[in-house]
Amino acid sequence: MHITDRWFAGRTGYTVVKVDMQRFPERSDWPGWDHVGCHEALGKLYWNTFHAVFIGELKFSDAPDFEGTIHIPDYRAVPILGDIGVVGVSTFIMSMFQLNIGDLWVSIPNAHTQIILEPLVNLCDEWEIEKAQMFS
């Protein structure tokens, strides 16, 4: 907890979104995702929600559970990373270090909640500086 607090408090903003992801229509293009527990069912709900709300791409894998891009007209493509269910601390920290200002981390803990983190600084650059100082 000390590491996450040190790195992300004051460097990221967050929003907790309450949305019933079960209300969005089921899509026929779910690519499938072989994952343990209820992850796949929750991932499918997020897939349906994402494509009902955004224009973009979403790909499921592991550590983190998904990555993609949200296309915002007349702006830019916004990279996203995220996790379904409870994210492992090491996955969370290493994923966050890949993000820059305007990128998004999305946690999906259940079918009714999305937690969105947005870096206020270039975490990727700050991590590279920190590593250089640690190993010089």
List, for residues 12-71, the tens digit of each pLDDT value: 999 999 999 999 999 999 999 988 777 899 999 999 999 999 999 999 998 899 999 999
Strand partners, 57: 69
**pLDDT range class, residue 1, cuts 50, 70, 90:** low
Tokens for 38? 């209820």
What is the tally of structural domains in the chain?
1
List, for residues 122-136, the tens digit of each pLDDT value: 998 988 888 888 887
Q: 108 Cβ partners below 8 Å, 6+ apart?
A: 21, 42, 43, 46, 82, 83, 84, 85, 114
pTM recorded for the entire structure: 0.90
Range of the domain at 88: 2-134
